[in-house]
Chains A and B, each alone.
Chain A
Amino acid sequence: MIRLALRHLGARKWQTGLTLGGILLGSAGFVVISGFMLGFRETLLDQLINNNAHVRITAREEFLTEHGLDRAFFPEDTHVAWISPPAGRKDSARIENPWGWMRRLEGDPEVASYSQQYRTSAILSRAKVTVNASLVGCDPERQVRLTNISESMTSGRFEDIGRGGNRLVVGDALLQKLGGRIGDTVLVTSGTQRPLPFRIVATYATGNRAVDEATAYTYITDAQKAAGHPNEINEIGVKLWNFEGARTYAGTLAGTSGDRVQSWDQLAESFLTIFKTQDMMRYLITVVILVVAAFGIYNILSMTVNQKRKEVAILRSMGYEGADVLRLFLTQGLFLGVVGGILGMGFGFVVCKYLATLPSPRTPIGGAATNLSISFDTAIYVTSALLALLSSSLASFFPAWNASKLNPIEIIRAGAE
């Protein structure tokens, strides 16, 4: 039956070619769209995972409530009415028990490394230029184990901030905004303290413009000093051996403390929502293309069945059963699906290879890659093949089923009339 099925297809080269083209485009479309979107996603995830801590512990900001101070001022009274209720934020946000966290994280087998930080808003000024930035105080030895910042250095070494006091590592873009050079001194103030001079000793470029033009790193005690909060820690970054377990791990830590504990995917919730939308879009586009291709198969087979009614009748008279006829037409649909799918995957692969040679525009959070990041994940190709096979199976089943149910006598009678 396979030979006959192939002959049927071969006899209608134009229709067969068009249908194959439809499946090819559908399949290739899925491969290219998925390769592009997943490649983009991998780049973003790489940036999110490797340029940041997997779990971030930060001080929870606490705000005064109307009755939050009742007990402190009126311990005996149960009903207190304020003429002017208390309001505002409680002191500066800081981690109350950093040593407790360190003991907890130090012995944890899930933790690859961690780093305590003091992060504050600061104003950097050089001559008449002032730039708002985030000043991150950290232990450089720990910080380079936490993120891949050392791989993003464009001049100097990140560890240089630990060699002597008041040293800064700034993003290339921030240095450009300041109009400075390596070795220049800038004044740094948190706004409440007098400005302190810091020397720029190194620069980095993560590719994430939002970071590169607004983040400066210094040694932790220097940042605390600049902010006027000696010995305070307001952030601990944690790197896990398995980043995929970050959300669960963060949940476990959050239950043991009043501090805020968030995983990288919770912090990047908006990006991950985009990924879901992307997934929906690429499946939707592919389904539309494959539905069109499936209609092509359905049409071509329905027409074939109609044209081959007499042949179906004669096959039945020769002892071919309904199942044989079903197989004859189903084979044609599946052949179109399989060959179209394979050609589509091949074509999609070639297009993806080409796209991977094109220069990449900056991504929202990272642009270090020089070429477009395209995913060649096997799952894309397997899914593409399955989608092509599924659509062709469904599209060919109904005409094939109808053919298998044809009554040979009616056809022969009709042919004789």
Chain B
Amino acid sequence: MGLVAKELRKSIGNPAVEILKGLSFAIEDGEFVALTGRSGSGKSTLLYLLSTLDPPTSGEVEIGGIATNRLDSRELHRFRNEKMGYVFQFHYLLPELSALENVLMPARKGGRENEMRGHALDLLREFGLHEKSDRLPRQLSGGEQQRVAIARALVMNPRYLFADEPTGSLDSVNGEKVMSIFQDVNRRLGTTVVMVTHDPEFASRAKRAIHLVDGRLATPT
């Protein structure tokens, strides 16, 4: 079933500027896809549309056979909470909460905080942060903060992981760690990963790349 984009268009501003110009493609379940392109090509906008954070101006996104534009707000939020994980360029951790509490935030929304606590600790252990689970974000390094953010994205065992320049604010060592985690999650758990990146080296680690030029697909998909 996977993730299907049908004639996706997105315009913003007034007067309207068309950022995405009728994109149609499919991503299979379990794929690791890199969205690449130059700045302003529309790759981040495409990611937000695919991940339902932003509605398209026209066209449709189908995820697992469900047309997301037909879901009401409550269903869409639940779908996002249970099926999707997000990693952004900046970690956006809640500074008042510990690493573990941050990881458990998606579970708390669904009332599954206690149920997921063990899994959250496993994720932190896996990412080398078990000893730091009680620390506040400001007591962690940039790389550690981003790994906490990835653990947060994965705590609900999502079928889809969306990442927007996840290594953009990290040094090469931490960037490498993040990429290894993504590859591992994709390979081991079968999680579909859609990642926006500028870095050709990291893009090459994906199974497939979708390259955008001025809001259009540059390569056939």
Contact B92 A313 (CB under 8 A): yes
Partner of B53, one of A310, A311, A321, A408: A408
CA distance A317 to B54 in the complex (A): 10
Could you tell me the distance in whole angstroms from the C-beta of A256 to the nearest C-beta in chain B? 70
Which residue of chain A has its CB nearest to the CB of B105? A318
- B44 proximity list for chain A (CB < 8 A): 413, 416
- A310 proximity list for chain B (CB < 8 A): 90, 92
- B80 proximity list for chain A (CB < 8 A): 317-319
Cβ proximity bits B81-95 to A, threshold 8 Å, 1 near / 0 not: 110001011101011
Contact A320 B48, CB 8 Å, known A313-B92, A412-B88, A415-B90? no
Whether, in the assembled complex, A196 has its beta carbon less than 8 Å from a beta carbon of chain B, the answer is no
- A319 proximity list for chain B (CB < 8 A): 77-82, 106, 109-110
Whether, in the assembled complex, B67 has its beta carbon less than 8 Å from a beta carbon of chain A, the answer is no
Whether, in the assembled complex, B188 has its beta carbon less than 8 Å from a beta carbon of chain A, the answer is no
Contact B53 A314 (CB under 8 A): no
CA distance A11 to B94 in the complex (A): 11
Contact A409 B53, CB 8 Å, known A310-B90, A416-B90, A416-B165? yes
Contact B92 A415 (CB under 8 A): yes
Which residue of chain A has its CB nearest to the CB of B110? A319
Contact B92 A311 (CB under 8 A): yes
- B109 proximity list for chain A (CB < 8 A): 318-320, 324
- A413 proximity list for chain B (CB < 8 A): 44
Contact A321 B94 (CB under 8 A): no
CA distance A273 to B137 in the complex (A): 62
CA distance A317 to B94 in the complex (A): 13
Whether, in the assembled complex, B171 has its beta carbon less than 8 Å from a beta carbon of chain A, the answer is no
Could you tell me the distance in whole angstroms from the C-beta of A236 to the nearest C-beta in chain B? 74
CA distance A415 to B51 in the complex (A): 18
Could you tell me the distance in whole angstroms from the C-beta of A414 to the nearest C-beta in chain B? 11
Could you tell me the distance in whole angstroms from the C-beta of A9 to the nearest C-beta in chain B? 9
Which residue of chain B has its CB nearest to the CB of A6? B96
Instruction: Please classify how large the interface on chain B is, using the bins under 10, 10 to 19, 20 to 34, 35 or more.
Output: 20 to 34
CA distance A229 to B41 in the complex (A): 112
Could you tell me the distance in whole angstroms from the C-beta of B20 to the nearest C-beta in chain A? 14
Whether, in the assembled complex, A280 has its beta carbon less than 8 Å from a beta carbon of chain B, the answer is no
- B94 proximity list for chain A (CB < 8 A): 4, 7, 311, 314
Could you tell me the distance in whole angstroms from the C-beta of A309 to the nearest C-beta in chain B? 10
Whether, in the assembled complex, B140 has its beta carbon less than 8 Å from a beta carbon of chain A, the answer is no
CA distance A315 to B108 in the complex (A): 11
CA distance A11 to B95 in the complex (A): 9
- A409 proximity list for chain B (CB < 8 A): 48, 53-54
- A157 proximity list for chain B (CB < 8 A): none
Could you tell me the distance in whole angstroms from the C-beta of B49 to the nearest C-beta in chain A? 10
- B74 proximity list for chain A (CB < 8 A): 321
Contact B88 A320 (CB under 8 A): no
Within 8 A of A (CB), among B45-92: 48, 51, 53-54, 73-74, 77-82, 86, 88-90, 92
CA distance A8 to B94 in the complex (A): 10
Contact A314 B92, CB 8 Å, known A319-B80, A321-B77? yes
Cβ proximity bits A373-417 to B, threshold 8 Å, 1 near / 0 not: 000000000000000000000000000000000001100110110
CA distance A412 to B92 in the complex (A): 9
CA distance A321 to B71 in the complex (A): 14
Contact B89 A320 (CB under 8 A): no
- A318 proximity list for chain B (CB < 8 A): 80-81, 86, 105-106, 109, 152
5 A/B residue pairs, CB under 8 Å, sorted by A:
A313-B92, A314-B88, A320-B81, A321-B74, A416-B165
Name A residues whose Cβ lies closer than 8 Å to a Cβ of B: 4, 7-8, 10-11, 310-311, 313-321, 324, 408-409, 412-413, 415-416
| Besides A311-B95, A314-B92, A318-B80, 12 other A-B contacts (C-beta < 8 A) | A7-B97, A10-B96, A11-B96, A317-B80, A318-B86, A319-B106, A320-B81, A321-B74, A321-B77, A408-B53, A413-B44, A415-B90
